[in-house]
Amino acid sequence: MRIAGAEQAHLAAAVQLAAAAVRARLASPALVPEAAIILGTGLGALGRAIQVEAQVEYADIPGFPLSTVESHAGRLLVGTLGGRRVMAMQGRFHKYEGYSLQQVTFPVRVLYALGARTLIVSNACGGMREDWLAGDLMLIGDHINMIGDNPLVGPNDDALGPRFPDMSEAYDAALRASARAVATEQGITLREGVYVAVAGPNLETRAEYRMLRSLGADVVGMSTVPEVIVARHAGMRVLGLSIITDLCIPETLEPASLEKILAVAVQAEPNLTTLVRCVVERLVPS
Protein backbone atom coordinates (compact mmCIF):
# COMPACT_ATOMS: atom_id res chain seq x y z
CA MET A 1 0.00 0.00 0.00
CA ARG A 2 1.26 3.49 -0.85
CA ILE A 3 -0.03 6.65 0.84
CA ALA A 4 -1.07 8.97 -1.97
CA GLY A 5 -1.01 12.74 -1.68
CA ALA A 6 1.29 15.01 0.28
CA GLU A 7 -1.38 15.80 2.85
CA GLN A 8 -1.57 12.13 3.87
CA ALA A 9 1.94 12.33 5.33
CA HIS A 10 0.53 14.52 8.09
CA LEU A 11 -2.07 11.99 9.22
CA ALA A 12 -1.42 10.04 12.41
CA ALA A 13 -3.21 7.01 10.97
CA ALA A 14 -0.77 6.80 8.05
CA VAL A 15 2.16 7.08 10.43
CA GLN A 16 0.86 4.29 12.64
CA LEU A 17 0.28 2.05 9.62
CA ALA A 18 3.92 2.45 8.56
CA ALA A 19 5.20 1.94 12.12
CA ALA A 20 3.19 -1.27 12.41
CA ALA A 21 4.75 -2.55 9.18
CA VAL A 22 8.24 -1.97 10.61
CA ARG A 23 7.39 -3.68 13.91
CA ALA A 24 6.06 -6.69 12.01
CA ARG A 25 9.52 -7.26 10.55
CA LEU A 26 11.38 -7.12 13.86
CA ALA A 27 12.27 -10.14 15.98
CA SER A 28 11.19 -8.06 18.98
CA PRO A 29 8.24 -5.88 17.92
CA ALA A 30 8.34 -4.07 21.27
CA LEU A 31 11.86 -2.73 20.60
CA VAL A 32 12.10 0.99 21.28
CA PRO A 33 15.06 2.85 19.75
CA GLU A 34 16.98 5.22 21.99
CA ALA A 35 17.98 7.23 18.93
CA ALA A 36 17.13 7.49 15.26
CA ILE A 37 19.86 8.33 12.75
CA ILE A 38 19.55 9.66 9.20
CA LEU A 39 22.60 8.89 7.07
CA GLY A 40 23.44 11.45 4.39
CA THR A 41 25.14 11.24 1.01
CA GLY A 42 28.01 8.78 0.95
CA LEU A 43 27.92 8.09 4.70
CA GLY A 44 27.66 4.32 4.54
CA ALA A 45 30.45 3.59 7.04
CA LEU A 46 28.32 4.84 9.89
CA GLY A 47 25.68 2.33 8.89
CA ARG A 48 28.28 -0.43 8.88
CA ALA A 49 29.24 0.46 12.45
CA ILE A 50 25.77 -0.54 13.62
CA GLN A 51 25.34 -4.12 14.85
CA VAL A 52 22.35 -4.83 12.66
CA GLU A 53 19.63 -7.13 13.96
CA ALA A 54 17.12 -6.42 11.20
CA GLN A 55 16.81 -4.33 8.09
CA VAL A 56 13.60 -3.24 6.40
CA GLU A 57 13.52 -2.11 2.78
CA TYR A 58 11.74 1.18 2.23
CA ALA A 59 9.62 -0.54 -0.40
CA ASP A 60 8.11 -2.66 2.37
CA ILE A 61 7.00 0.30 4.50
CA PRO A 62 3.64 1.86 3.55
CA GLY A 63 3.99 5.53 2.73
CA PHE A 64 7.78 5.55 2.45
CA PRO A 65 9.16 7.09 -0.75
CA LEU A 66 11.93 5.24 -2.57
CA SER A 67 15.48 6.58 -2.77
CA THR A 68 16.48 7.62 -6.29
CA VAL A 69 19.97 8.95 -5.50
CA GLU A 70 22.71 6.41 -6.20
CA SER A 71 24.51 6.89 -2.87
CA HIS A 72 21.33 6.29 -0.81
CA ALA A 73 20.65 2.59 -0.23
CA GLY A 74 16.98 2.78 0.74
CA ARG A 75 16.63 0.66 3.88
CA LEU A 76 15.99 1.03 7.58
CA LEU A 77 18.60 -0.56 9.84
CA VAL A 78 17.65 -1.74 13.32
CA GLY A 79 20.31 -2.70 15.85
CA THR A 80 22.79 -1.33 18.36
CA LEU A 81 25.45 1.38 18.25
CA GLY A 82 27.60 2.18 21.23
CA GLY A 83 25.54 -0.27 23.24
CA ARG A 84 22.31 1.63 22.55
CA ARG A 85 19.31 0.60 20.48
CA VAL A 86 19.11 2.61 17.27
CA MET A 87 17.22 2.78 14.02
CA ALA A 88 19.08 4.27 11.08
CA MET A 89 17.82 5.41 7.71
CA GLN A 90 20.33 4.32 5.08
CA GLY A 91 19.24 6.81 2.49
CA ARG A 92 17.02 9.88 2.71
CA PHE A 93 14.78 11.80 0.33
CA HIS A 94 14.99 15.24 -1.23
CA LYS A 95 12.66 17.75 -2.82
CA TYR A 96 14.74 17.65 -6.00
CA GLU A 97 13.76 14.01 -6.50
CA GLY A 98 10.19 15.18 -7.07
CA TYR A 99 8.86 14.40 -3.60
CA SER A 100 6.85 16.84 -1.52
CA LEU A 101 8.43 17.87 1.77
CA GLN A 102 5.63 15.98 3.52
CA GLN A 103 6.82 12.81 1.78
CA VAL A 104 10.47 13.65 2.47
CA THR A 105 9.80 13.91 6.20
CA PHE A 106 7.27 11.10 6.59
CA PRO A 107 9.98 8.67 7.85
CA VAL A 108 10.79 11.03 10.75
CA ARG A 109 7.19 10.75 11.90
CA VAL A 110 7.42 6.96 11.68
CA LEU A 111 10.66 6.88 13.69
CA TYR A 112 8.96 8.95 16.38
CA ALA A 113 5.97 6.60 16.38
CA LEU A 114 8.40 3.70 16.87
CA GLY A 115 9.63 5.36 20.06
CA ALA A 116 12.67 7.41 19.03
CA ARG A 117 12.87 10.70 20.93
CA THR A 118 16.35 11.71 19.75
CA LEU A 119 17.20 12.28 16.08
CA ILE A 120 20.75 12.50 14.74
CA VAL A 121 20.93 13.85 11.20
CA SER A 122 24.04 13.81 9.04
CA ASN A 123 24.74 15.23 5.61
CA ALA A 124 27.38 16.16 3.08
CA CYS A 125 27.56 19.88 2.38
CA GLY A 126 29.52 22.64 0.72
CA GLY A 127 31.66 24.88 2.94
CA MET A 128 31.54 28.65 2.48
CA ARG A 129 34.15 29.63 5.09
CA GLU A 130 37.64 30.33 3.78
CA ASP A 131 39.26 29.09 7.00
CA TRP A 132 37.54 25.68 6.89
CA LEU A 133 38.74 22.66 4.89
CA ALA A 134 37.12 19.95 2.82
CA GLY A 135 36.83 16.91 5.08
CA ASP A 136 36.11 18.94 8.23
CA LEU A 137 33.08 18.03 10.32
CA MET A 138 30.62 20.73 11.31
CA LEU A 139 28.21 20.73 14.24
CA ILE A 140 24.98 22.40 13.14
CA GLY A 141 24.13 25.17 15.57
CA ASP A 142 21.24 26.57 13.58
CA HIS A 143 19.77 26.52 10.10
CA ILE A 144 18.18 28.64 7.38
CA ASN A 145 15.40 27.25 5.20
CA MET A 146 15.87 28.44 1.62
CA ILE A 147 14.11 25.49 -0.01
CA GLY A 148 11.05 27.63 -0.67
CA ASP A 149 8.66 25.26 1.09
CA ASN A 150 7.89 23.87 4.54
CA PRO A 151 6.85 20.31 5.48
CA LEU A 152 4.23 21.65 7.91
CA VAL A 153 2.24 23.47 5.22
CA GLY A 154 -1.33 22.16 5.04
CA PRO A 155 -3.79 20.85 7.64
CA ASN A 156 -2.18 20.20 11.02
CA ASP A 157 -2.86 16.94 12.85
CA ASP A 158 -2.67 17.91 16.53
CA ALA A 159 -1.84 14.28 17.36
CA LEU A 160 1.51 14.81 15.62
CA GLY A 161 2.44 18.25 16.95
CA PRO A 162 1.29 21.86 17.43
CA ARG A 163 0.19 24.15 14.62
CA PHE A 164 2.99 26.64 15.35
CA PRO A 165 6.05 24.79 16.74
CA ASP A 166 8.81 26.81 18.36
CA MET A 167 12.20 26.68 16.63
CA SER A 168 14.26 28.84 19.00
CA GLU A 169 16.45 25.82 19.79
CA ALA A 170 16.16 23.58 16.76
CA TYR A 171 19.38 21.75 17.71
CA ASP A 172 19.55 20.47 21.28
CA ALA A 173 22.09 22.30 23.46
CA ALA A 174 22.97 19.26 25.59
CA LEU A 175 23.57 17.08 22.53
CA ARG A 176 25.77 19.75 20.99
CA ALA A 177 27.77 19.99 24.21
CA SER A 178 28.22 16.22 24.17
CA ALA A 179 29.45 16.32 20.57
CA ARG A 180 31.96 19.05 21.40
CA ALA A 181 33.25 17.06 24.37
CA VAL A 182 33.66 13.92 22.28
CA ALA A 183 35.47 15.83 19.53
CA THR A 184 37.92 17.27 22.06
CA GLU A 185 38.58 13.88 23.66
CA GLN A 186 39.04 12.15 20.31
CA GLY A 187 41.13 14.89 18.71
CA ILE A 188 38.54 15.50 15.98
CA THR A 189 38.28 18.90 14.34
CA LEU A 190 34.66 19.97 14.79
CA ARG A 191 33.53 23.27 13.36
CA GLU A 192 30.22 24.79 14.39
CA GLY A 193 27.96 26.93 12.26
CA VAL A 194 24.80 27.56 10.32
CA TYR A 195 23.50 25.17 7.65
CA VAL A 196 21.39 26.59 4.84
CA ALA A 197 19.16 24.24 2.85
CA VAL A 198 18.37 24.91 -0.81
CA ALA A 199 16.19 22.95 -3.21
CA GLY A 200 18.88 21.76 -5.65
CA PRO A 201 19.75 19.64 -7.51
CA ASN A 202 22.23 21.98 -9.20
CA LEU A 203 25.09 23.37 -7.18
CA GLU A 204 25.07 27.09 -6.62
CA THR A 205 26.49 29.93 -8.69
CA ARG A 206 29.18 32.26 -7.40
CA ALA A 207 26.58 34.96 -6.85
CA GLU A 208 24.37 32.56 -4.90
CA TYR A 209 27.24 31.58 -2.62
CA ARG A 210 27.87 35.27 -1.92
CA MET A 211 24.19 35.76 -1.12
CA LEU A 212 24.05 32.74 1.20
CA ARG A 213 27.16 33.90 3.05
CA SER A 214 25.64 37.35 3.48
CA LEU A 215 22.59 35.72 5.10
CA GLY A 216 24.81 34.20 7.77
CA ALA A 217 25.21 30.65 6.46
CA ASP A 218 28.47 28.74 6.82
CA VAL A 219 27.62 25.65 4.77
CA VAL A 220 25.01 24.77 2.16
CA GLY A 221 23.18 21.55 1.35
CA MET A 222 19.95 20.13 -0.03
CA SER A 223 18.51 18.22 2.92
CA THR A 224 18.25 18.06 6.73
CA VAL A 225 16.20 21.20 7.44
CA PRO A 226 12.79 19.68 6.53
CA GLU A 227 13.52 16.62 8.69
CA VAL A 228 14.59 18.80 11.61
CA ILE A 229 11.44 20.92 11.35
CA VAL A 230 9.26 17.81 11.55
CA ALA A 231 11.34 16.32 14.36
CA ARG A 232 10.93 19.48 16.42
CA HIS A 233 7.23 19.57 15.54
CA ALA A 234 7.00 16.15 17.21
CA GLY A 235 9.12 17.25 20.19
CA MET A 236 12.27 15.27 19.35
CA ARG A 237 15.75 16.32 20.45
CA VAL A 238 17.98 16.88 17.41
CA LEU A 239 21.71 16.72 16.76
CA GLY A 240 22.94 17.76 13.32
CA LEU A 241 26.37 16.93 11.86
CA SER A 242 27.78 17.79 8.45
CA ILE A 243 30.80 16.67 6.45
CA ILE A 244 32.18 19.54 4.40
CA THR A 245 32.88 17.77 1.12
CA ASP A 246 33.71 20.70 -1.15
CA LEU A 247 34.70 24.34 -0.82
CA CYS A 248 32.26 26.93 -2.13
CA ILE A 249 34.35 30.10 -2.02
CA PRO A 250 33.18 32.36 -4.88
CA GLU A 251 36.61 33.90 -5.46
CA THR A 252 38.33 30.51 -5.89
CA LEU A 253 35.42 28.32 -6.97
CA GLU A 254 36.30 25.15 -8.87
CA PRO A 255 33.94 22.69 -10.60
CA ALA A 256 32.56 20.02 -8.26
CA SER A 257 31.33 16.52 -9.05
CA LEU A 258 29.49 13.80 -7.16
CA GLU A 259 32.57 11.59 -7.44
CA LYS A 260 34.76 14.17 -5.68
CA ILE A 261 32.12 14.81 -3.03
CA LEU A 262 31.76 11.11 -2.27
CA ALA A 263 35.53 10.65 -2.10
CA VAL A 264 35.88 13.36 0.56
CA ALA A 265 32.90 11.95 2.48
CA VAL A 266 34.58 8.53 2.58
CA GLN A 267 37.79 10.03 3.98
CA ALA A 268 35.89 11.89 6.71
CA GLU A 269 33.56 9.02 7.63
CA PRO A 270 35.76 7.46 10.36
CA ASN A 271 35.66 10.70 12.38
CA LEU A 272 31.91 11.06 11.89
CA THR A 273 31.36 7.44 12.91
CA THR A 274 33.44 7.89 16.06
CA LEU A 275 31.64 11.11 16.93
CA VAL A 276 28.14 9.69 16.51
CA ARG A 277 28.95 6.42 18.29
CA CYS A 278 30.38 8.21 21.31
CA VAL A 279 27.49 10.67 21.49
CA VAL A 280 25.01 7.79 21.32
CA GLU A 281 26.89 5.99 24.12
CA ARG A 282 26.40 9.05 26.34
CA LEU A 283 22.71 9.57 25.67
CA VAL A 284 20.60 10.24 28.71
CA PRO A 285 16.82 9.78 28.76
CA SER A 286 15.01 12.70 27.19
pLDDT at 69: 62
Return mean pLDDT, the chain. 92
pLDDT at 4: 44
256-274: per-residue pLDDT in tens?
A: 888 888 899 989 999 999 9
Q: Taking a C-beta distance cutoff of 8 angstroms, is the pair 220, 204 a contact? A: yes
pLDDT at 284: 77
208-236: per-residue pLDDT in tens?
A: 999 999 999 999 999 999 999 999 999 99
Report the predicted TM-score, pTM, of the whole model to 2 decimal places. 0.93
Q: Go through 130-158 and write b for each residue having 16 or more CB atoms within 10 A of its CB, e for each that does not.
A: eebebbbbbbbbbbbbbbeeebbeeeebe
Domain boundaries, the chain: 6-281
Compute the Cα dihedral for 112, 115, 116, 117 and give only its sign: positive
* Ranges under pLDDT 70 in the chain: 1-10, 42, 68-73, 285-286
For 89-92, the CB contacts below 8 A with 24+ separation are 89/36, 89/37, 89/38, 89/39, 90/39, 90/44, 90/47, 91/39, 91/58, 91/67, 92/38, 92/39, 92/40, 92/67, 92/223, 92/227
Contacts of 256 (CB under 8 A, 6+ apart): 126, 203, 246
At the topology level, CATH places domain 6-281 in Rossmann fold (3.40.50)
Q: Taking a C-beta distance cutoff of 8 angstroms, is the pair 112, 236 a contact? A: yes
